[in-house]
Structure 1
Amino acid sequence: MTYWDYNAAAPIRAEVATLLSRAFASSGYGNASSVHQEGRAARARLDAARAQVARVLGCEPKEVSFTGSGSEADALALVGAWHMRPQPERRRVVTSAVEHPALLGAVAQLEREGAYVVRVAPGPDGRVREADMLEALTPDAALCSLMWANNETGVLQPAREVALACRQRGVLFHTDAVQAAGKVPLSLREVDADLLSLSAHKFGGPPGVGVLMVRKSVDVRALTPGHQEGGRRGGTQNVPYAEALALALALADAELTETTARLTTLRDAFEREVTARLPGVHINGGAAPRVPNTSNLRFDGVEGEALLIALDLEGICVSSGAACASGTLTPSHVLRAMGLSPAQARGSLRFSMGPGTTEADVARVVDALVRHVPHVRALAG
């Protein structure tokens, strides 16, 4: 198996698997809200995990809230902050047209509740122009959300500059950093966000746990009422999963310099070989700054799903730029926003590498593409 779908889910790190195995095999089963010794022990573990995440982000531990996923963190950030915004007369929400579906779903909910939503389109390179975002930040803007890195193309967005502009204009700023974690330095000194979302399974933690960082000056209304997580998320905390997220994030951060350099080299070699050996191949987002592990390639005259299946039969796992909804193939909203036609979007595949990727993997995937692309093109006729 050659697994090149790290942007969908990264394999659980061995250290994290060991932590979870020990946690579930131990006798430590206290509720972190209980006052007896088992509860206090669980609370201490939860606090340690919170502090570990805060050290990586550069925030205070009390600003870290654990959630059930990155999608929940996005929804809590947008919907929760909207309902607690300090100036209710401000009703504009600014975001981009290339956000994750979870974020766009939360924005659509706000729109139904009376928000005026501006979805800023990217340029052909997949990057939203800073000037376009700033133009949309009119005096009636209450909330702005711009992802740090795109999940499909890997394109890095101008989150730092937009966050600064929001700070200057009194607009709450959220960034979905789910695809940035473990790929670029993840510091609030770099992107001065009021709210920031993470998801453990993108950097070697388990699925089912995420983080929303909320600055202490910001209020959010809980989606699930309760006293836990500072009143931001009701429900008994999953202490082992919080510990697992914190460990995975710390390990990814510690390895970042080496991982970034190695994956950049592998990605560039992959793209160079594929475009040299196959005609009609284009790199979606290739002209913009990107995270080091992601290549989104468009193959002229190819149905992406057919090529994906051909690769899968060889044990090569990648992702299509299209999703199947109600039996209908729907082109990627990200690629369509970049100006690609439906056919071009359907002819694109995402290749996302990770810490386990090797030079041999690159050679294997390139060889498979060189063999299969002409055949799939011929079938498309």
Structure 2
Amino acid sequence: MGGVDTAPEMERMTDMRVYADQAATTSLSKTALEAMLPWMTENFGNPSALYEEGRTARDAVETAREKIAHLLHAKAKEIYFTSGGTEADNWALQMAAAAGARTGKKHIIVSAIEHHAVLNPAKSLERQGFRVTYLPVTSEGVVLPETLEAAICPDTALVSVMYANNEVGTIQPVEELAEICRMHGVWFHTDAVQAAGHVEIDLTKLQADFLSVSAHKFHGPKGCGFLYVKNGFRTESLLEGGAQEKGKRAGTENVPGIVGMAAALEESLIKRDKKDTFVLELRRQVAERLLSIEGSHLNGCGVMEGDEGAAAGTDAAARHAGTAVSRADRLCGNLNISFDGIEAEALLLYLDMKGISVSAGAACSAGALEPSHVLTAMGISPELAKGTIRISLDETNTQADAEFLMKVIPDAVARLRSMA
């Protein structure tokens, strides 16, 4: 297929647009929108007001809090609403660091593949006198429990390891990691921004002290998220002002966003099994085609489920021969592939012109000239890392989308290589 000139077919398909960057953001679901609309129009009261409009808005916020807590098997009082995942991550690290410092514990551990919403606060804490250990990962992007245990010291206050990686989709053994932290009396935070709504999160099993979530990753609204803080931890104030969020985060609550987030999370989890089966099949097809391209490499947890034969002969398959990856190991919509002899920026621009939206990694790093810190930590060379794209699918994608990706991307790779 890669050797066939598909230009005429591509020209006829220029009106088609395939959005395959669901890890960056998702569209607002109809369910979430319908839940939000009344709180943008007739029910516009301030939740802090004592009169009827305010009480109605307050009830909506607390109902959403209870729904979210129920979905995560948590307590409503453990949920604090934020503007998104970045704020939640920053709050967790700053709060735990301050609490640790009061008892002489000024050591923090984070994985080397964290989102910058964790890495940059960690670097800031280093400048404030904290000692930070950056945990290495395997070639598949996994934090090994024994690596964490070896890094914990008597003065360790906090460990932060993301639930699922935003670039390569690897799902971490967070329950084991949290258990190690519990045994050593260390707080555990997990950035669950990519995981929430896509994997089952049970906080009675996952003994995390802090967990961060952002609504727009599961078809909720942008600008809304929450931080879970385990009951018993003395929550520090993030923003001073009014008495919102039990006096810990001042500012009028985003009522429509909170209501929409709860609705989107509930819908996503209810439909999870059905949508995962569909998305896994789309991913399998796209992976099979792209990994048949000479000089292609899959990054992350092994070969795609059902793709072992199709990927035979690729470097990725050779490294992980005989393995298969289910949604228990990798987010089901994630496909991170490197191409020899390709600059990702050129490939992304070419695909954009042909009607395909994918990314080179984290959306927050768009335009960065440095190779991905995630891929580098996994031992991938800077040259290969710079030739990497991330395709992320979900249930809003279609079979036609998959076929378009399989048609256009191989041709794009071939053309760019011929130009080089």
Same fold (TM over 0.5): yes
Equivalence for 1:71: 86
TM-fit CA distance, 1:23 = 2.0
Counterpart code for 1:210: G
Equivalence for 2:354: 314
- Taking structure 2 as the reference length, what is the TM-score of the superposition? 0.87
Equivalence for 2:250: 234
Which one is further off, 50-59 or 136-145?
A: 136-145
Is 1:275 the counterpart of 2:291 in the alignment?
A: yes
Which structure 2 residue ranges, 5 or more long, are not aligned?
1-16, 303-324
Is 1:302 the counterpart of 2:318 in the alignment?
A: no
SS at match of 1:236: coil
- Relative to structure 1, the CA distance from residue 286 to residue 81 in structure 2 (aligned partners, 3 Å threshold; closer, same or farther) is closer
CA deviation vs aligned residue, 1:216-268 (integer Å, no higher than 9, x gap): 21123222123211222111111111101111101011111112222122212
TM-fit CA distance, 1:326 = 11
Equivalence for 1:13: 29
TM-fit CA distance, 1:30 = 2.0
Give the number of aligned pairs. 378
Residue 59 of structure 1: which of 48, 52, 74 is its match?
Answer: 74
CA contact (8 A) 1:66 1:209 kept: yes
- Taking structure 1 as the reference length, what is the TM-score of the superposition? 0.95
Residue 338 of structure 1: which of 362, 378, 381 is its match?
Answer: 378
Is 1:347 the counterpart of 2:409 in the alignment?
A: no
Is 1:292 the counterpart of 2:332 in the alignment?
A: yes
SS at match of 2:57: helix
Counterpart code for 1:364: F
How far apart, in 2, do the equivalents of 1:25 and 1:210 lie? 22
Counterpart code for 1:6: Q
How far apart, in 2, do the equivalents of 1:86 and 1:261 lie? 46
- Relative to structure 1, the CA distance from residue 313 to residue 191 in structure 2 (aligned partners, 3 Å threshold; closer, same or farther) is same
Between the aligned residues of both structures, percent identity stands at 39
CA deviation vs aligned residue, 1:123-158 (integer Å, no higher than 9, x gap): 111112121111112222111111000000000112
How far apart, in 2, do the equivalents of 1:78 and 1:206 lie? 24
How far apart, in 1, do the equivalents of 2:152 and 2:230 lie? 21
- Relative to structure 1, the CA distance from residue 302 to residue 70 in structure 2 (aligned partners, 3 Å threshold; closer, same or farther) is same
CA deviation vs aligned residue, 1:164-187 (integer Å, no higher than 9, x gap): 111111111100000001221122
Residue 80 of structure 1: which of 92, 95, 100 is its match?
Answer: 95
Counterpart code for 2:177: V
CA contact (8 A) 2:360 2:366 kept: no
CA contact (8 A) 1:80 1:221 kept: yes
Is 1:49 the counterpart of 2:49 in the alignment?
A: no
CA contact (8 A) 1:99 1:147 kept: yes
How far apart, in 1, do the equivalents of 2:18 and 2:363 lie? 22
CA contact (8 A) 1:209 1:241 kept: yes
- Relative to structure 1, the CA distance from residue 186 to residue 52 in structure 2 (aligned partners, 3 Å threshold; closer, same or farther) is same
TM-fit CA distance, 1:21 = 2.5
Is 1:38 the counterpart of 2:78 in the alignment?
A: no
How far apart, in 1, do the equivalents of 2:208 and 2:57 lie? 30
SS at match of 2:236: coil
How far apart, in 2, do the equivalents of 1:327 and 1:294 lie? 21
Counterpart code for 2:110: T
How far apart, in 1, do the equivalents of 2:165 and 2:254 lie? 28
How far apart, in 2, do the equivalents of 1:197 and 1:320 lie? 24
TM-fit CA distance, 1:190 = 3.6
Equivalence for 2:10: none
Q: CA RMSD in A?
A: 1.7
- Relative to structure 1, the CA distance from residue 69 to residue 164 in structure 2 (aligned partners, 3 Å threshold; closer, same or farther) is same
CA deviation vs aligned residue, 1:284-330 (integer Å, no higher than 9, x gap): 10427211010000011111111111111111110013889797612
Equivalence for 1:125: 140
Which 4+ runs in 1 deviate beyond 3 A? Answer: 321-328
